[in-house]
Every structure is written in structure tokens, then in C-alpha cells.
Amino acid sequence: MTLDFIVLALLTIITAATPLVFAAMGELITEKSGVLNLGVEGMMLTGAVTGFASVFFFESAIVACIAAMLAGTLTALLFAFLVLTLQASQVATGLALTIFGVGLSALLGQNMVGIAYEGLPTLSIPYLTELPIVGKLLFGQDFLVYLSLALPFLVAWFLYRTRAGLILRAVGDSHDAAHAIGYPVIRIRYCATLFGGAMAGLAGAYLSLVYSPMWVENMTAGRGWIALALVVFATWRPWRLFLGAYLFGGITILQLHAQAVGINIASQFMSMLPYIITIVVLVLISRDRNKIKLNAPACIGKPFHPAA
């Protein structure tokens, strides 16, 4: 196994893990407020098609990412209105949001299938980028990768070092108590849900602009569900989530490198592997109910009735 092969494997793991980091961190904030949004897949697809269309229309990668975040935010706003204002079921609405995102993205992207994009520009620092091994890994990435590396710091700092983060966690753990002392529970949950939508949209933009720089129908391929599983896998902790995203990212691209080194395993099995691992991990974690209850927001998925 050559050094170049190792560097290439690490680079592909980074690209596979980055969208998972964005989507899962957004869902982490959403769930910390007590809202369970199962529509991550749909929001990612909406962001992916919007970002891909915007990069050609505006000819700016930054504007395309902002447009993708806005698309994810608007999709999350629809979900938030249904579950927080109209008190619809969070589970049913989240599943409907995924179906809506799949159909909407397919409709909007039907004329863009097969069009390729050159990809986001990468950082290039003289001498540093040319260093062996660490050069491309540390100094040759696009700006979204660096943002994903900073995101766990920012989320952890917000949740555990700021008053706003404390309030968010309080709303997720006991919305009645938070309401009793004067905190606007619905408004806080709206903000958390919209942030989750923005991050899911950005994750989708990364898929269509970097990971596979073209539009393909249903290109998320279940990554939204993996992001949801990562939140539970990490027991709602940012750093565990970040490490889990890279673990699952490595498993996702394992099929490519296994074939490259000549491992004779059916490609269909290798394609199933990330989802098999996801199911196994969730089964193992669910066995320890006390640990889940200790770390999970106590009011997750529960509707809040201010007048009650």
C-alpha cells in the first residue's frame, strides 16, 4: 500500500464525512431544543438541487451555499410551522418532509441531470500545500471542509459555554419549566429547527458541489438517515458526533478502496455496509436505555401547549 494511496483514502474519507458533520450537527441542535425532525434527507436534497442550480445562475460558490442554506431553512420552516404552530405529529411530518424533498428536488433538477461542475475552489498555500501527506490534507481543502472542522468547536461552545445554549438545553429537557420562568419555548424551537434546516441544506450543497459535482436524483442516498443515527450514536454530544461522522464516512468509501486493492467482496454488499453498520450501532446503543435517558433531551418529540 503506497503513501499516495493512503493520502487518497484519507482525502475521500474527509469528503464523505463532511456532509454528515453538517447535517448531524444541525439535527443535534434541533433535538437539543426538544424537536425531532426526521426530514433531514428531504432538506439535504432541497439544498443540493438549489445549490447546484445557483452556482450556475450566480456563478459564485459562496452564493450557491447561501442559497442552499436558505432552501433548507425554508423547508425546515414548513416543518416547524406544522409541528410547533399547528401541533402536528413530529414523526409523521418529518417523514412527509423527506418524501416532499425527494419529489421537489427531482422536479427542480430534471433539466440539470448530467451537467457537471468543476467543484469548489480549494486552498492553495505555497510550500505548505506541497508538503508530503499533510499538505493536501491540511492545506488543500475547500472552505466547507474547514467550516465543518470548526463547527464542533462552535456547537460545543454554544451549548456548554453560553447562556443561550443553556436556555436551549433547558427547553429540551423541560419545556414546561422553561415556559414557567418566562422563556419563549416555541420561538426557541423555531430557531433551533431553522438552524438544523440550514445545516442540512449546506450538507446537500456539499454533495452536489464537491462530493459528486453534478446533480443526480436522490443523490443523498440515505445520508440524512445516517445523520439522524449519528446523533443517537454520539449520545447528543458534539465531539462524539464529529468522530462518528468520520467513522461512518470511512465506512461509506470503504467499498471503493476495497475494490482498488483487489478485495473480492460483492459490490452490493459493500454498498449496504454503511447502513448495516448504522442498524447494528443503533441496536447496540438501544440496549442501554439508562444511558439514552441520561443524555437524551427529556422532551424530545413531545408537543408543547403553552395554554396548558
Compute φ and ψ for 111, nearest 5 degrees.
-95, 0
pLDDT score, position 23: 97
In the predicted structure, residue 132 carries a pLDDT above the cut 70: yes
Residue 105 contacts residue 45 (beta carbons within 8 Å) = yes
Tell me the mean pLDDT in the region 156-175.
Answer: 96
Tell if the pTM clears 0.85, that is, is over it: yes
What would the pLDDT profile of 253-302 be if each residue is shown by its tens digit? 776 666 666 666 666 666 777 778 777 777 777 676 666 666 789 999 99
Q: Say if 304 falls within a structural domain.
A: no
pLDDT of residue 188: 97
Domain that includes residue 254, residue range: 3-295
44 in a structural domain: yes
* Cα–Cα distance measured from residue 258 to residue 99, given in angstroms and rounded to the nearest whole number: 33
Single-letter amino acid, residue 190: Y
In terms of pLDDT, which residue wins out, 288 or 184? 184
Q: Cα(first)–Cα(last) distance of the chain, in Å?
A: 64
Q: What is the pLDDT of residues 8-62, one digit of tens each?
A: 888 889 999 999 999 999 999 999 999 999 999 999 999 999 999 999 899 899 9
- 122: β partners: 142
Provide the domain count of the chain. 1
CATH number at 55 reads 1.10.3470
Pairwise CA distance, residues 81 & 79, whole Å: 6
Q: Is residue 306 part of a domain?
A: no
Higher-pLDDT residue of 73 and 13 is: 73
Please indicate whether residue 265 or residue 6 has the higher confidence score (pLDDT): 6
More confident residue, 266 or 210: 210
303 in any annotated domain: no
Average of per-residue pLDDT across 224-232: 92
pLDDT at res. 1: 52
pLDDT of the residue at 143: 93
* More reliable by pLDDT, 12 or 156: 156
Q: What is the pLDDT of residue 14?
A: 92
Q: Within a domain: residue 205?
A: yes
- Output the pLDDT for position 133: 79
**Separation between Cα atoms, residue 239 and residue 199, nearest integer Å:** 17
Torsion of CA 5, 7, 8, 13, to 10 degrees: 130
Furthest C-alpha separation in the chain:
65
In this prediction, residues 239-250 reach a mean pLDDT of 90
Question: Residue 214 has what DSSP assignment?
Answer: B
Question: Residue 264: its pLDDT value, please?
Answer: 67
Question: Pick the residue with more confidence: 186 or 120?
Answer: 186
Which residue reads 428531504 in cell numbers?
42
The answer to whether residue 305 sits within a structural domain is no
What are 137's three cell numbers? 490534507
Those residues with Cβ within 8 angstroms of residue 232's Cβ, 6 or more apart along the chain or in another chain: 282, 285, 292, 296
Q: In the prediction, which pLDDT does 259 show?
A: 61
Residue 181: inside a domain: yes
134 pLDDT band (50/70/90 cuts)?
Answer: confident
Could you say which DSSP state residue 121 is in?
-
CB atoms within 10 A of CB 77: 14
Q: Which residues pair with 113 in a beta bridge?
A: 215
* Domain assignment present for 25: yes
**Residues 194-202: what's their mean pLDDT?**
97
Whether the CB-CB separation of 25 and 241 falls below 8 Å is answered with yes
